[in-house]
Amino acid sequence: ESVYECGQYAVTQMAEPSRFSGFFKKFKTSIRLVAMTPEEQRTLDLFEAIESRPDINQRQLAEELGISLGLANAFLKTVLSKGWLRARKVTTRRWLYFLTPQGTLEKSRLTLNYLQRTLKSFRELRNQADQLLADLNTRDVQGIHLIGEEDFIDIIGLCLEHHQMRCLSKIIKPREEEGRLNHWIPDQFPKLKTSERFLITLFSDQEKLLKKLTAEGYQNQKHWVCMT
């Protein structure tokens, strides 16, 4: 692949559609808020934090779960009362936490449900991507420039081999932990041929991107389509 500069960020030029190793693992992480309730997510995160660090303290646990210290304390007590964890006092201010057999079963149940719902969401999004690409096929579109969130761009990539078109470039929105969220939209977009479209896979910041495209003279359907 080759890379050209688009604004202050590099855009990857792809010669051929590619497969995405490790995609499903990334996809599961990206849709966790969709696939799990907040309580289920917090419980599974707590189990994982304690399995990796049995000596974790409540302040560290609060940071790990992204909640207040008081809420972490109350949540830990709830999980202990359900018999999913046991605690052993090591020193006056130090405790070790362990999953009980019941806790291990609950972690397995949450993980299995999570994977089942994630797979369902993945299939639904892939079907939507297939339908969109099939529609573009009927309009004699031969190449697309993908703009949006990486995991959803990857879904399009997985579908491309079944359709007669190529991914010409990708403009990827950074993840929250990577920063740069206020400056990821490039100053310039790739020039379009009549047989090309921008395909937008954004579930946030879409309005800002569409305003930018519209300001540069690009039109809905004629120049860009959205996977929404």
Cβ–Cβ under 8 Å, residues 128 and 157 = no
Mean pLDDT of the chain: 81
pLDDT digits (tens, 9 = 90+) for 142-187: 999 999 888 888 888 888 888 888 999 998 888 765 555 567 888 8
d(CA 28, CA 138): 32
User: What is residue 109's predicted lDDT score, i.e. its pLDDT?
Assistant: 92
Which residues, including other chains, have CB under 8 Å from residue 57's CB and lie 6 or more apart? 94, 95
The 3-class SS string of 148-202 reads EEHHHHHHHHHHHCCCCCEEEEEEEECCHHHCCCCCCCCCCCCCCCCCEEEEEEC
Cβ–Cβ under 8 Å, residues 202 and 150 = no
Residue 93 has pLDDT above 90, yes or no: no
User: What is residue 179's predicted lDDT score, i.e. its pLDDT?
Assistant: 56
Lowest mean pLDDT among 29-38, 184-193, 213-222: 29-38
Cβ–Cβ under 8 Å, residues 55 and 96 = yes
Question: How large a percentage of the chain has pLDDT more than 70?
Answer: 81
Its pTM stands at: 0.59
Cβ–Cβ under 8 Å, residues 155 and 122 = yes
